[in-house]
Amino acid sequence: MPLSPVPAHLQLFLAAPRPAVVATLRDDGSPVSAASWYRFENGSLLLSVSATGQRLRHVRRDPRVALTVLGESWYTHLSLLGRVVEITEDSDFSAVDAFARHYTGEPYPDHDTPGFVLRAEVERWHSFGDLGGPTAAP
């Protein structure tokens, strides 16, 4: 897997609202993955998580995360490996609303439980298929 930074053509790929799966590590070290909204800004991976969810607890204990973003088919995808370096409370729901607008065009409908934004620095990446530029060697 190539080291960061993520090349410009792949940053363009990441800028679109695409389906993605994020993985974190449970208390026993086993991986767990779930579908997730993400944003990629200024070279960082951003994730919105619930204050009461497991992902927040997982990254507070072990900051390693992995994200796989799908292209037009299963045969095109980009995987990012990184570490959460910042956790910011989203008490006014502005971040989750920005994520929702990115994906749906509307603010997030549930403002009952504030969340957090995880900012991860990408350490490595790997692409597969035609993502609009050169593909990394395995």
**Would you say residue 133 lies in a domain?**
no
In the predicted model, what is the mean pLDDT of the chain? 92
Measuring CA to CA, which residue among 38, 83, 46, 79 is closest to residue 63? 83
Is the pLDDT at 136 greater than 60, yes or no? no
In a domain, 138, yes or no: no
Within-domain flag for 18? yes
Confidence of residue 1 (pLDDT cuts 50, 70, 90): confident
- Do the domain assignments include residue 73? yes
For 8-28, write each residue's pLDDT tens digit: 999 999 999 999 999 999 999
Is 33 domain-assigned?
yes
Split into its structural domains, the chain has a count of 1
Q: Which pLDDT score is estimated for 138?
A: 44
What are the tens digits of pLDDT across the range 35-44?
999 999 999 9
CATH of the domain at 84: 2.30.110.10
pTM: 0.89
Is position 65 within any domain? yes
Q: What is the pLDDT of residue 134?
A: 54
Q: Are 30 and 64 in contact (CB under 8 A)?
A: no
Cis omega (within 30 of 0) on the bond before 5? yes
CA neighbours within 13 Å on the CB side: how many for 132?
12
pLDDT in tens, 101-132: 999 999 999 898 889 999 999 999 999 988 87
Tell me whether residue 113 is in a domain: yes
Is 2 inside a domain boundary?
A: no
Q: Within a 13 Å sphere around the CA of 17, how many CA atoms are in the beta-carbon half?
A: 9
Query: SS3 of 27, please?
Result: coil
Element (H, E) at 95: helix 94-104
Q: Which domain holds residue 90?
A: 8-128
